[in-house]
Amino acid sequence: MATEHYESVLHPPAIVAELKKNKVSHVVWLPDSETNFMYQLLNSEPTMDLVPVCREGETMAIAAGLWVGGKKPVVLIQNTGIFESGDSIRGLGLDINQPLVMLVGYRGWSRHGLTTDSAARFIEHILHAWGINYYLIETDEDAPRITLAMEEAQRTQKPVAVLVGTEFGA
């Protein structure tokens, strides 16, 4: 029996359009394997400032400073970076009621077979443990979920994650 194959493609312009629609001012980030096309686009986007960091735990703290200073940042990191950032998410996300949207590369995840990468297997459990809600995006059609996440973060005054479940297309 033939298996129907759907190609999931998520293009950076769809993400950037959502960020612009939500008037995001800064993208605080550390690259992952899935974001090179995104980097090229963000780097040429005049309405948003890129803030590159050396380690992911810096991102929530920098975002907290931007937020308290009146800006609207998002964080863009990989799921492995969420693990590294535990105490920053606790102290400078949850404890201070920061309405922060974290775009998180869902490294290792696939809906087309076994998910063997522990980075993928653990991430949703970790978010559940912290009580952080999340949305999954895999295609351009899913991109408006970023707006849902931004609205939820503002409404609840809590961090919200958006798991990027596919590689960005060129």
State the nearest-atom distance from the C-beta of 150 to another protein, in Å. 17
Binding flag, residue 65, another protein (CB under 8 A):
yes
End-to-end CA distance of the chain: 32
Other CB atoms within a 10 A radius of the CB of residue 4 amount to 5
State the nearest-atom distance from the C-beta of 127 to another protein, in Å. 19
Which residues lie closer than 8 Å to 152 by C-beta, 6 or more apart?
133, 160
Task: Determine which residue in the list 42, 92, 120, 162 makes contact with another protein, applying CB under 8 A.
Answer: 92
Q: Which amino acid is at 156?
A: T
Q: Is the dihedral angle over the CA atoms 50, 89, 153, 78 positive or is it negative?
A: positive
Per CB under 8 A, which of residues 100..129 are in contact with another protein? none
21 to 60: interface string for another protein, x by CB under 8 A: -----x-x--------------------x-xxxxx-xx-x
Binding flag, residue 78, another protein (CB under 8 A):
no
Binding flag, residue 132, another protein (CB under 8 A):
no
Please state at what angle helix 12-21 crosses helix 145-156, rounded to 10 degrees: 40
Binding flag, residue 131, another protein (CB under 8 A):
no
Rounded to whole angstroms, the Cα distance separating 50 from 101 reads: 15
Residue numbers at the binding site for another protein (CB under 8 A): 26, 28, 49, 51-55, 57-58, 60-71, 73, 87-88, 90-92, 95-97
